[in-house]
């Protein structure tokens, strides 16, 4: 039996004052020199973990899964390919890849100093559940699962305006930060202007989406599902640099999870309000968001809308259903599952949401990624029961979801995991931006209200497109 080659990580750290450098300014310098760079930010500074922006660049290893084929590139340049004998082995394959890195985080380090940055597409659920996802289109196709390991990570602490630069070596050599210093002190790179080309397109007409909503209502009345979340996709051709749209979006719709992942032939960026799941030292938490009203632009009116949202029987029923689903999902691999906060009103730039927090302690010896699989995708993107809802969605929606409704973020080599749900998110591919939103349909749903919910959720993204055209 051959021995698996592992990679001990050596790390150099340097702290700098970051009061004259913004995360965007740093990322622009990085992106100009390195492909496959990423930035993760947060506008929610209530907790220490949200008080950082992270920029990672110069990938030295990768894991990619598509059509049951795993391709992984290791720090020594070795490329390994193999086909999964069983789709359910995907979870273990990703863990095995992460286990090949030996990294010791130090006191004071950012929790994201080193690890795997990447995404899991919605369609990857077929590797976690006994469900077939029909392949329907290629224009939004991306790897089902993709993660990168980086040589350099920059963590900006917004509480004390300090920047920590990490250089990681995977071959036993001493890592060097001189290059990073040169990069940070170098000139600011110009950004190409952004402009939209032609009219917005959609994968469903209004009449078609009405038929889908009415079909979903019938499934609810028949008892096939309690709730189902069909979605509608829009697309917009463009020219120029789509990073301008991310710049606009982070201003228009500041959110707990903001990100821009540049993968050369496609990019994923967004401002998501909702975490997929967070696992920290065995404690898992999910924050179901269900219940949506559009903001009015008037604070007093918004307060009235928030009160009406908490008292709305349809929105409350939908929320309770998805909180129960989160509890059930966590219970598969966790104990002491409880609802810590329930129906908390949260205000975002264009909408008001109801948010709860469900937590649980992971079973001893469980692969943390199994807990991710148990809870994927978020019930707020499928409905309940999940399997039935996803089967109906796969039959009704004319195009694959791919990244929409999937998860994107970071996990460390020990299985600690923090990902956003890929909503309020753009996929940029082939000079076209794709963006999508869903609606929570129940037996008592009103078709017009559900259709409007999609536009409410996408209002911030469409506003960002307009703002981006005027950025210099």
The DSSP-derived string for 258-307 is EEEEE-SS-EEEEEES-EEEEEETTEEEE--EEEEEE--S-HHHHHHHHH
Residues 35, 57: Cα–Cα separation, whole Å: 8
- Using alpha carbons only, what angle is made at residue 39 by residues 34 and 41, rounded to the nearest 5 degrees? 165
Distance CA 448, CA 456 (A): 12
Tokens of 366: 């469980």
CATH 3.30.365.10 describes domain 7-468: no
Q: What was the pLDDT predicted at 46?
A: 53
HEC readout, 140-208: CCCCCEEEEEEEEEEEEECCCCEEEEEEEECCCCCCCCHHHHHHHCCCCCCCCCEEEEEEEEECCCHHH
Report the pLDDT value the prediction gives residue 146, as an integer from 0 to 100.
Answer: 98
CA 175/CA 293 separation, integer angstroms: 50
CA distance 7 to 76: 9
Q: Parallel, antiparallel, or unpaired for β 7-8 and 101-102?
A: parallel
CA separation for the pair 438, 382 (Å, rounded): 9
* Contact between 353 and 77 (Cβ < 8 Å): no
Max mean pLDDT among 21-35, 270-284, 322-336, 420-434 falls in 420-434
What gap in Å lies between CA 307 and CA 210, rounded to an integer? 29
Beta bridge partners of 40: 54, 259
Tens of pLDDT, residue by residue over 203-256, are 999 999 999 999 999 999 999 999 999 999 999 999 999 999 999 999 999 888
Q: Structure pTM? A: 0.92
At 349, the pLDDT band (50, 70, 90 cuts) reads low
Averaged over 182-191, what is the pLDDT? 84
Any idea where the domains of the chain sit in the sequence? Answer: 7-468
Residue pLDDT, tens place only, 146-179: 999 999 999 998 888 899 999 999 988 888 888 8
CA distance 156 to 131: 41
């Amino acid at each position: 039996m051959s021995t698996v080659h592992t990679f001990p990580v050596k790390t150099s750290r340097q702290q700098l004052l970051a009061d004259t450098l913004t995360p965007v300014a740093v990322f622009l310098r990085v992106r100009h020199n390195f492909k496959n760079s990423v930035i993760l930010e947060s506008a929610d500074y209530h907790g220490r973990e949200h008080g950082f922006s992270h920029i990672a660049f110069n990938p030295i290893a990768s894991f990619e899964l598509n059509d049951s084929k795993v391709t992984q590139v290791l720090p020594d340049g070795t490329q390994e390919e193999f086909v999964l004998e069983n789709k359910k082995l995907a979870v273990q394959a990703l863990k095995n890849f992460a286990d090949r890195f030996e990294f010791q985080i130090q006191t004071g380090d950012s929790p994201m100093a080193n690890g795997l940055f990447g995404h899991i597409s919605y369609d990857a659920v077929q590797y976690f559940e006994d469900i077939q996802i029909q392949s329907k289109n290629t224009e939004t196709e991306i790897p089902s699962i993709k993660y990168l390991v980086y040589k350099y990570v920059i963590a900006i602490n917004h509480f004390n305006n300090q920047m920590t630069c990490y250089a990681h070596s995977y071959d036993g050599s001493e890592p060097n930060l001189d290059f990073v210093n040169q990069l940070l002190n170098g000139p600011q790179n110009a950004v190409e202007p952004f402009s939209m080309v032609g009219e917005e397109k959609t994968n469903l007409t209004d009449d078609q989406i009405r038929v889908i909503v009415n079909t979903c209502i019938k499934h609810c009345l028949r008892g096939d599902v309690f709730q189902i979340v069909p979605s509608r996709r829009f697309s917009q051709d463009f020219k120029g640099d789509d990073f301008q749209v991310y710049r606009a979006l982070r201003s228009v719709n500041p959110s707990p999870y903001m990100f821009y992942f540049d993968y050369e032939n496609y990019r994923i960026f967004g401002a998501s309000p909702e975490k997929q799941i967070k696992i920290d030292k065995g404690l898992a938490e999910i924050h179901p968001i269900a219940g949506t009203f559009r903001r009015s632009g008037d604070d007093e009116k918004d307060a009235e809308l928030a009160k009406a949202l908490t008292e709305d029987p349809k929105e409350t029923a939908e929320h309770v259903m998805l909180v129960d689903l989160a509890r059930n999902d966590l219970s598969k691999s966790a104990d002491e599952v409880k609802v810590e906060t329930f129906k908390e009103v949260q205000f975002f730039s264009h909408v008001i949401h109801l948010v709860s927090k469900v937590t649980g302690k992971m079973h001893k010896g469980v692969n943390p990624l199994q807990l991710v699989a148990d809870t994927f995708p978020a019930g707020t993107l499928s409905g309940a029961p999940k399997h039935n809802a996803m089967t109906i969605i796969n039959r009704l929606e004319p195009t694959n979801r791919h990244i929409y409704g999937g998860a994107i973020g970071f996990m460390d080599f020990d299985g600690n995991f923090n990902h956003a749900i890929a909503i309020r998110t753009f996929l940029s591919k082939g000079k076209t931006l794709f963006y999508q939103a869903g609606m929570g349909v129940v037996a008592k749903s009103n078709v017009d209200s559900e259709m409007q919910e999609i536009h409410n959720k996408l209002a911030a993204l469409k506003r960002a497109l307009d703002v981006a055209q005027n950025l210099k």
